[in-house]
Structure 1
Amino acid sequence: MFTAGWVSNTGWGFRFTKNPRGGWLFGHEGYGGQYVKGDPDTGLAFAYLTNSLKTSSSDEGVRAFQNLQTALYQSFYSANTTDASRRNTTGTLTFTTSQPFVEK
């Protein structure tokens, strides 16, 4: 029998975690720190891909993923949805940055 050594909230192949506002996310982490998450309450879905292996075994241990997730939710909730120039036809939030995302 394999024991992971940590508590894991899983079901149907997904791992369940909380978003920065306390709602539930579902998704899965891949080998080396890759992540995909979906938020059924907001309709957000996002992936985090790296070009190197990370050594953590959970979301909580990967600072870059946490920072990216927090920035995504801050952008999502601060977006002025009444401004038509900030919306696109798919109903998803588009946000870009001219600066590369650097893990600290």
Structure 2
Amino acid sequence: MLRMIPLALTTFVLAGCQTALQKEIQDNRFARADGRPIRSSPALLTQAQLDLDYCKGEANKAALSAAPIYARGVVGMIAADQVNQRRQEAVFDVMKGCMAGKGYAWGPKAV
């Protein structure tokens, strides 16, 4: 029972942390690089959705290519979480690069 206390505390601490990637996704969005609003026409909206779906697929392929992470103990779990966060950031970089190739820019949401 006493062995579970550090595990439970670590879980609560890690669960309460918002990663930099989560904050970036929350505060930013994709927009057309040419400045035209995506919602200005049904054709642009449809194309944006197709491009987004395609790039999500590319990001998923990148995520699937990663080897599994094995962890042992609390320290191992923390290290595995850090590796997983770096992987998520790399996969999202693939997504941003794909969208840039399709003519979209990643930037702050308009207020």
Q: Same fold (TM over 0.5)?
A: no
| Between structures 1 and 2, the one with greater strand share | 1
Greater relative CO, 1 or 2 (CA 8 Å, sep 6+): 2
